[in-house]
Amino acid sequence: MTTDPTLASHVPSSVEVFDTTLRDGLQVEGVSATVEDKLRIAEQLDFLGVHFIEGGWPGANPKDIEFFQRALTELRLTTSAMVAFGSTRKPKGKVDDDATLRNLIEAGTSAVCIVAKSWDYHVLNALQTTLDEGALMISDSVEYLRAHDKQVLVDMEHFFDGYKRNPEFALRALEAAIITGASHVVLCDTNGGSLPHEVEQIVGDVYRHIGDDAIIGIHCHDDTGCAVANSMAAVRAGGRHVQGTVNGLGERTGNCNLTTVIPNLQMKLGIECLPAGRLERLTSVSNHIAEVLNRPLNPQAPYVGSSAFAHKAGLHVSAIVRAKDAYEHIDPELVGNGTRFVVSEMAGRATLTIKAEELGLAMDGPAINQVIDDLKRLEHEGYHFEAADASLELLMRRATGWQQDFFRMESMRVITDELPSGQFTTEATVKVWVGDQRFVQTGEGNGPVNAIDTALRAALASAFPALDRIHLVDFKVRILDGATATGAITRVLLDATNGDRSWTTIGVSANIIEASWRALEESLVFGLLHPGE
């Protein structure tokens, strides 16, 4: 790795990554994590190789107390240090009877991070105390934690807003932390309203003021969409410690996204963030954490999203294959992602040929023409194969003359009843053939798709035990109004997984049950075709 030669001489050749997914990241609306989830996430962060994992605020809730107890006994972290988060002592309070500080010490981590007020407005109005007392709260707390052998990082809340209005007090807050032994002062853009040129200038001022007396950190929120850019600006001005969350999780618009800022710093500026060989774990860690938190990853996320290196341009595909670096800003494998060719009706012959090779299908010219014709017709009807990789594969296989011979449907019926209690029940009956054996089964469900799925699985269970491993994970219905001359059409996308891989199928019809059935049938067929290990 070579460092960008245009960077100023004080720019570090490596920075520390401080992950706050388990504390700030969990402030995001609609996400909650159990202690078990948090332990699994911590393992992923260690696997990725961040320097610090902020585990939570011990004492704020019983969950975080349990987390620290179990993290320190159950986890075998090899690259990351666990950090407990808290705050300075209360105004006019004493350090030795402050519950927050006591909880920090009892959490048992070697490093702690405390939040401190560096904006005079907050000290005077939120804390209702004097600036002298504001500075003392910081120095007393750091001194006390140092006396208990803790490494102390201080998050300077609202630092940029504070510095713009009263730089003397903002710097005084930093000094209060540094002279009492804080290893890091982390400048926080808590309201997230700053822009890169302001951050670069203010961090530069701070660096000129404190030099290397403490490590300058940066903690940005993404309210201007600049959290990553602001963090990079801070590093260019002398910051050596970057805080953020995986997938940018966090309150409001989120925090600095580590899955973007790490490759930006490491691959674009040549500033090392992770131990050697770890960057290629980024995509898998990002997906894993998204899954644990049940928070789907944005497909367009830079570097790690499923679309980050997906090419749709049919005409250009053969050119892309010849010279990938002409169309991709980095080699996707370096971050553990991969190039993908997206097939839609715009697809040219080259895209389909590549796709067929990927699938190991021997397709000649006429078979490819057949697929192109089918795609055009079906996409006109409302199909959307870009999103449905499994249905596309089945369509391509059929063009080679293949037909699924796992099972054959004779008939299917769904009945929905409203009971006197006002509740709805749905029951499906399927009649299906496997070879020359006929199976008839009834299944109940909370809706028609669920009922058909239950009945069909019951019918096929003895012939195909592998169906046990296939789970439907998501079901999206979209009404395509006016997309065709025939009126409203329903498009159903079904996501399924067998634990090893996930796939998506599609069904389109004027009838929602039929559309669902098409997607379901293809989903199970695809699962049987790819049983995994």
- Please tell me what DSSP assigns to residue 61: B
What values do phi and psi take at 134, rounded to 5?
-55, -45
CB of 223 to Zn ion, least distance (A): 11
Q: CA–CA separation, 187 vs 159, rounded Å?
A: 6
DSSP H or E run through 107 = none
Q: CA–CA separation, 240 vs 178, rounded Å?
A: 16
Q: Which is nearer to Zn ion, 24 or 54 (CB)?
A: 24
Q: Which is nearer to Zn ion, 222 or 495 (CB)?
A: 222
Q: CA–CA separation, 293 vs 223, rounded Å?
A: 22
Q: Which is nearer to Zn ion, 126 or 359 (CB)?
A: 126
Residue nearest to Zn ion (CB): 24
Name the nearest CA neighbour of 453 among 426, 491, 417, 434: 426
Q: Could you count the other beta carbons within 10 Å of the beta carbon of residue 333?
A: 12
CB of 157 to Zn ion, least distance (A): 8
CB of 190 to Zn ion, least distance (A): 6
Residue whose tokens read 């909650």? 32
Q: Which is nearer to Zn ion, 256 or 396 (CB)?
A: 256
CB of 259 to Zn ion, least distance (A): 17
CB burial of residue 368 (10 Å; 0-12, 13-18, 19+): buried
Question: Encoding tokens for residue 137?
Answer: 């709260």
CB of 373 to Zn ion, least distance (A): 54
Q: What residues make contact with Zn ion under the rule CB under 5 A?
A: 24
Task: Give the CA count within 13 Å in the CB-facing half-sphere of 284.
Answer: 13
Q: What is the dihedral of CA 242, 173, 120, 233, to 10 degrees?
A: -30
Q: CA–CA separation, 194 vs 203, rounded Å?
A: 12
CB of 38 to Zn ion, least distance (A): 17
CB of 221 to Zn ion, least distance (A): 6
CB of 147 to Zn ion, least distance (A): 27
Q: Which is nearer to Zn ion, 113 or 285 (CB)?
A: 113
Q: Which is nearer to Zn ion, 24 or 495 (CB)?
A: 24
Strands (E) in 307-453, as ranges, are 310-311, 340-341, 408-418, 424-434, 437-445
Residues 133-164 as b or e (16 or more Cβ within 10 Å = b):
ebbbbbbbbbbbbeeeebbbbbbbbbbbbbbe
Question: Encoding tokens for residue 57?
Answer: 């605020």
User: How far apart, in Å, are the Cα atoms of 48 and each of 45, 276, 284, 304, 331?
Assistant: 5, 10, 9, 14, 19
Q: Which residue type does 354 have?
A: I
Grouping H, G, I as helix, E, B as strand and the rest as coil, residue 26 is: helix
Q: CA–CA separation, 380 vs 345, rounded Å?
A: 9
CB of 193 to Zn ion, least distance (A): 13
* Non-local CB neighbours of 506 within 8 Å, separated by 6+ positions: 383, 384, 385, 387, 388, 391, 491, 492, 493, 494, 518, 519, 522
CB of 115 to Zn ion, least distance (A): 9
CB of 448 to Zn ion, least distance (A): 45
Q: Which is nearer to Zn ion, 24 or 64 (CB)?
A: 24
CB of 478 to Zn ion, least distance (A): 36
Q: Which is nearer to Zn ion, 185 or 496 (CB)?
A: 185
Q: Which is nearer to Zn ion, 45 or 414 (CB)?
A: 45
Compute the Cα dihedral for 140, 141, 146, 151 and give only its sign. negative
Q: Could you count the other beta carbons within 10 Å of the beta carbon of residue 503?
A: 21
Q: Which is nearer to Zn ion, 117 or 355 (CB)?
A: 117
CB burial of residue 505 (10 Å; 0-12, 13-18, 19+): buried
Q: Which is nearer to Zn ion, 23 or 340 (CB)?
A: 23
CB of 224 to Zn ion, least distance (A): 15
Q: Which is nearer to Zn ion, 159 or 303 (CB)?
A: 159
What are all long-range contacts of 315-321, with beta carbons under 8 Å and residues at least 24 apart? Answer: 315/348, 317/341, 317/347, 317/348, 317/350, 317/351, 317/354, 318/348, 318/350, 321/350, 321/354
Q: Which is nearer to Zn ion, 113 or 387 (CB)?
A: 113
